[in-house]
Amino acid sequence: MANETDLMERIVALAKRRGFIFPSSEIYGGLNGFWDYGPLGVELKRNIKQAWWDDIVRRPPEGPDGEPIEMVGLDSAIIMNPKVWEASGHLAGFKDPLVDCKECHSRFRADHLLRPFLLPLHSIPSSGQIFDTVQFRAGDPARLDRLVDQPDASKLQVIVREALNSRKAKVIEHPQAAPVHGVQYFVQDGNSSYFLGLDYDDVKLGDRCPNCGAQLTGARQFNLMFKSHAGAMEDSASEVYLRPETAQGIFANFRNVLDTQRLKLPFGIAQIGKAFRNEINPRNYTFRSREFEQMEIEFFCHPDQAAEWYEWWRDARFQWYVRHGLTSDRLRLRDHTADELAHYAAACADVEYAFPFGISELEGVANRTDFDLKAHQETSGRDMTYFDEEAWQRDAPQYKPEHYGGDKKAAKQAADEAKAGPPYRFIPHVIEPSGGVDRAALALLCEAYDEDEAPDEHGNPQPRTVLRLHPRLAPVKAAVFPLVKKDGMPEKARAVYEACRDEMTAFYDEKGAVGRRYRRQDEAGTPFCVTVDGQTAEDGTVTVRDRDSMRQERVPSEGVVAWLKDRLGRG
């Protein structure tokens, strides 16, 4: 098949041609970072969200003890009190370094400009005296954090850590290695040198805009949250933000859900919804958009069980993608190294997919400890603790007056003191599997895209494009055709179509040669095509053609809906 760039172009073309994805407001030239999902795209996305919701909330999986886990759903507002973003750290810290071109006004993330330089240094042309040893601020997490976004980050970090630990390596400044006159740090290990980071505050970019070659501005920090105003006054008191993630709506409602649902730890709250990030440089098709949808779970548990639940969720979420068709080795699970972890996280892993444009994250699973609930407790002043009634009932006899020499007051005081803290009252820890609907849809399209050959009506092989989507996620489950537009076939086919439509998304088509109709459905990812032909009038059977094997089977038309439902599966 095509090389990876070509492949991506073909996928994008197919998605446009067949009505999966359109540039948003295309008639006005589109809007960078925004996409519209067409008739097939909206079905694909709805199926992904429905499958996730059914598998997580309606029929939650069994936990490590074999019992179904407890899950409830939520739909919180997109715009929340700005204090939420103060508590979560998004107001202060949700920033990327931004540079502008002074001529063409293109904007770039300073760290993305440096991507090409994540190479052994000797492969970068250089001249003259370029190495200066500088002091490495080893404990500076900001510098190492910047590597997280880089494709080879984990490998690089291992090299850096090992090299620095063994003191074989030193950090060097290399002012001519990139088209920026900032301070860039490289680590030199033997004969190889690796890019380590850039001191953005020092960046004074010269005359090298990647688009037009003109001068760029220095880097400045840019908050990724979209800002708006609630109400008629446009002043700082009315400033609000479009949520950059759905997760904070869950934390902000933790108390409400706990108090109204009689839940016991461990339990999870799940939410699907839009999120907005004013990405400096949206790119890679829908992968990095400014408006997207997330599917997020906050799973609250006892601190002692957090490590076990983290592993369980990490594996469960990876397997969910495998079950829904991401079966190739393009899907991988990558544990973050200690250097990559956010300061509050105890562990984190990414479900990644090797897209034609590179390996990138589909979903992150993190053990976020009690960081978020604690932050909201501190900022809101509201109690975010959980009281473990079972543990208390087990231990309460220890606080009977007879253990306090019959002194009821002392016993009550000791009991009250014990009940106020661990192990009875505590802030739960949280495991957060956080995935993107758009990235899942894109990975599924990439994985499903295939080109092979199918026979035309004369039996001659013709090239075909086929989307081998999992039947549960396919936009249309069954297409129904009359072989020809006569002999009562259209009437019969319509009746079959109507019966199918009650149970699944179905499509009726009677136009053109049947081979061409099959191929159109192959491109749309429709797993089954049902055809009414001459034999139907004789014995009441129809043919069902399988998209992937192209095999045809005769099935009684009365039983065709049940036959199809049987094969559509749950994933």
Minimum CB separation from ligand ATP for residue 364, in Å?
4
Stretch that binds ligand ATP, among 161-169, 314-322, 430-438, 525-533 (CB under 6 A): 430-438
Q: Which of residues 225-264 bind ligand ATP (CB under 6 A)?
A: 245
Q: Is 432 in the site for ligand ATP (CB under 6 A)?
A: no
How far separated are the first and last CA of the chain, in Å rounded? Answer: 28
191 three-class SS:
coil
CB nearest ligand ATP: which residue?
436
Tokens 């499958």 locate to: 51
Burial of 402 per CB tally in 10 Å (0-12, 13-18, 19+): exposed
Number of residues that bind ligand ATP (CB under 6 A): 17
Q: Which of 109, 288, 545, 547 binds ligand ATP (CB under 6 A)?
A: 288
Of the candidates 222, 215, 219, 229, the one whose C-alpha atom is nearest the C-alpha of residue 99 is 219
Q: Is 111 in the site for ligand ATP (CB under 6 A)?
A: no
Q: Is 154 in the site for ligand ATP (CB under 6 A)?
A: no
Minimum CB separation from ligand ATP for residue 360, in Å?
6
Q: Which of 294, 369, 377, 541 binds ligand ATP (CB under 6 A)?
A: 294
User: What whole-number distance in Å separates Cα of residue 479 and Cα of residue 34?
Assistant: 31
Show the 3-state SS of 525-551.
Answer: CCCEEEEECHHHHHHCEEEEEECCCCC
Which lies closer to ligand ATP via its Cβ, residue 314 or residue 464? 314
Q: Which of 279, 298, 352, 509 binds ligand ATP (CB under 6 A)?
A: 279
Q: Is 433 in the site for ligand ATP (CB under 6 A)?
A: no
Q: Which of 37, 85, 94, 292 binds ligand ATP (CB under 6 A)?
A: 292
**What single string gives the DSSP state of each residue in 346-412?**
SEEEEEEEEETTEEEEEEEEEE-TTHHHHHHHHHH-----EE-HHHHHHHGGGGSGGGGTT-HHHHH
Q: Is 364 in the site for ligand ATP (CB under 6 A)?
A: yes
User: What whole-number distance in Å separates Cα of residue 82 and Cα of residue 494?
Assistant: 54
Stretch that binds ligand ATP, among 261-269, 333-341, 433-441, 530-538 (CB under 6 A): 433-441
Minimum CB separation from ligand ATP for residue 276, in Å?
9
- Structure token pair of residue 230: 């609630």
Q: Is 521 in the site for ligand ATP (CB under 6 A)?
A: no
Minimum CB separation from ligand ATP for residue 147, in Å?
12
Q: Is 436 in the site for ligand ATP (CB under 6 A)?
A: yes
Instruction: Give phi and psi for 35, each to the nearest 5.
Output: -135, 150
Instruction: Give phi and psi for 5, each to the nearest 5.
Output: -65, -45
For the chain, the C-alpha Rg in angstroms (whole number) is 29
Q: Is 90 in the site for ligand ATP (CB under 6 A)?
A: no
Vertex 426 angle, CA 89 and 87, to 5°: 15
Stretch that binds ligand ATP, among 2-10, 70-78, 103-111, 360-368 (CB under 6 A): 360-368
Q: Which of 109, 439, 470, 519 binds ligand ATP (CB under 6 A)?
A: 439
Instruction: Using CB under 6 A, list all residues that contact ligand ATP.
Output: 149, 245, 277, 279, 288-289, 292, 294, 361-364, 434-436, 438-439
